[in-house]
Structure 1
Amino acid sequence: MTQKIAFIGLGAMGFPMAGHLLRSGYELKVYNRTTSTAEKWLKQYATDGAVSASMAKTPHEAAIDADVVLLCVGNDDDVRSVVYGQDGVLSAMKHGSTLIDHTTTSAELARELHKVAKDYGVDVLDGPVSGGQAGAENGALTVMLGGDSDVYNSVHEILNCYSQKHQLMGEIGKGQLTKMVNQICIAGVVQGLSEALHFAQKAELDSQAVVDVISKGAAASWQMVNRSETMVKGQFDFGFAVDWMRKDLDIVLNEAKRNGSSLPITALVDQFYGQVQANGGGRWDTSSLISLLDK
């Protein structure tokens, strides 16, 4: 493969995503705000010398000569900090290259990036992901994208390296809007599952047996299959953090104000997550909603 890739952001998601790209044969240059994480990534993945991998001191340095630059950072402001300015990727990206933002951000930011990047001759796709850390590690993420179809078609092979499903949802920003739909669904499902398991315990049912039965029917969900056992045990020290979920739901609720949609359950669950944070569970998995029900 001849394409050179820059990967910015080696967190829980970006770390394995970048690894899949390297193992697929792409020439990769990575940047992470914490240098020790980038060094750890090189030690873990760039060991066989079969392809070129290196770390950069700045996003700008990582993006020099890159055909595609991938971002997977924290929030809107984090994206701006690695894209704009003399140390940002845009100041180094060549005409005709592509910027894909895998961060979950506002749709407004996606449109902003597209508008600014156009002056540099750079194409942009917003491409938030779903599937959690396990999905990233297993190369089984779902990617929802917004942007031009020709640009999307040109990066299929890259997306295939770490996803089981990717789809263009429409114009720029539509990927982020689709991710918002995803988070609305998750918020409601996790609260419903929390109440169901709480009810089962109070009814003196065998929770594991209950889940084994109903997970084969209409009540089944990813959350039920993957989180019910740990929810019953009160184990939350893993997975997608409540802090990040609240960040995402804030984006959702702000967008709902703009488009006039009514999200009463989502707003309520967001408040519940605020209570989990107040109880010291900001880094707990989102399934920790159940911890509020015995209070």
Structure 2
Amino acid sequence: MANVAFIGLGVMGYPMAGHLARAGHNVTVYNRTGAKAEQWLEDYSDAEGVELFAAPTPAGAAADADVVFACVGADKDVAEVCVGEGGAFTAMKAGAVFVDHTTASAECARVMAAAAKEAGVGFVDAPVSGGEAGAVNGVLTVMCGGDAVAFAEAEPIMQAYAKSVKLLGEAGSGQLAKMVNQICIAGVVQGLSEALHFAMEAGLDAKAVVDVISKGAAQSWQMENRASTMIDGEFDFGFAVDWMRKDLGIVLSEATSMGVSLPLTALVDQFYCDVQKMGGNRQDTSSLIRRFRG
């Protein structure tokens, strides 16, 4: 059992913090909207043998924690909860570890890692893949960058909500790996959208086709989990288009700084812009097929 803190109780952080409590850790939470933190305390009050608290600031949450976890919106939010007024780094005890699950830039991770080192604490950038369902079911994939000692301290605790946790290199490596993940997803969803559109236009039973080809080389997570709802025009779940565009923006900015060409990723990013213009901002990323089907 460890004393941990969790900063940010959004669609991902809320269940992730819950898994920590269910795993037997004492958890102090912080959320910008305090009512959400109070609701979390109520929802997990039945966790046995643990102490649960809500704090008014990130610093308050982090003060007694061995490991502090965060899952917030973007670079500026990470900086705010780490080094802003009332930020976690101002209160963390020496040797404690900060784990950032936010999908942010690699540069943000490097800057926060340097600030953490100056404050005498460890830092791990640890973006996740698996979406809301993965967080709720405790089966996230966690891609990590940072110091091996800090990672070793946090990794067993992250297992509470993960099926895979891996250290991939120095600070920023986790964020770079998440960019690789999003590049792959963008291409697969676009390909699946085109394939399903083609099948339906050809007069085929698209679901029957998917049932056959999903047993072969065309199989993917997107096909297994999203093809049926794409065919039915159902998109009110999963990872929102707005968040995907945020992530692809990070990818394309990083690629530009590296001098790397990502033509397909740039094209799919613009296709997602089309979906936003159609009012699909909060729809699942599989709504990419709407460009064909309306």
TM-score with structure 2 setting the length: 0.98
For residues 85 and 227 of structure 1, the distance between their equivalents in structure 2, rounded to whole angstroms, comes to 40
Displacement of 1:48: 4.5
Q: Can you list the C-alpha shifts for 1:64-120, whole angstroms capped at 9, x where unaligned?
A: 111111010111011111111331111111111100000000000000001111111
Question: How do 1:164-243 and structure 2 match up within 5 A?
Answer: 164-243=163-242
Match in the other structure for 1:271: 270
RMSD (Å) for aligned C-alpha atoms: 1.0
Asked whether 1:138 is paired with 2:137, we answer yes
Match in the other structure for 2:25: 26
Which one is further off, 30-39 or 248-257? 30-39
Match in the other structure for 1:153: 152
For residues 51 and 293 of structure 2, the distance between their equivalents in structure 1, rounded to whole angstroms, comes to 53
For residues 11 and 67 of structure 1, the distance between their equivalents in structure 2, rounded to whole angstroms, comes to 22
Structure 2: which amino acid aligns with 1:184? Answer: I
Give 4+ residue runs of structure 1 displaced > 4 Å after superposition.
Answer: none
| Pair 220,27 (structure 1): closer, same or farther in 2 beyond 3 Å | same
Which one is further off, 4-13 or 31-40? 31-40
SS state of the match for residue 168, structure 2?
Answer: strand
Structure 2: which amino acid aligns with 1:202? Answer: E
For residues 207 and 73 of structure 1, the distance between their equivalents in structure 2, rounded to whole angstroms, comes to 38
Structure 2: which amino acid aligns with 1:196? Answer: A
Structure 1: which amino acid aligns with 2:79? Answer: R
Asked whether 1:116 is paired with 2:120, we answer no
For residues 239 and 263 of structure 1, the distance between their equivalents in structure 2, rounded to whole angstroms, comes to 25
For residues 275 and 196 of structure 1, the distance between their equivalents in structure 2, rounded to whole angstroms, comes to 19
For residues 140 and 49 of structure 1, the distance between their equivalents in structure 2, rounded to whole angstroms, comes to 22
| Pair 242,42 (structure 1): closer, same or farther in 2 beyond 3 Å | same
Displacement of 1:153: 1.5
Match in the other structure for 2:100: 101
For residues 47 and 153 of structure 1, the distance between their equivalents in structure 2, rounded to whole angstroms, comes to 29
TM-score with structure 1 setting the length: 0.98
Matched pairs, number:
294
Percent identity, aligned pairs only, is: 61
For residues 70 and 48 of structure 1, the distance between their equivalents in structure 2, rounded to whole angstroms, comes to 19
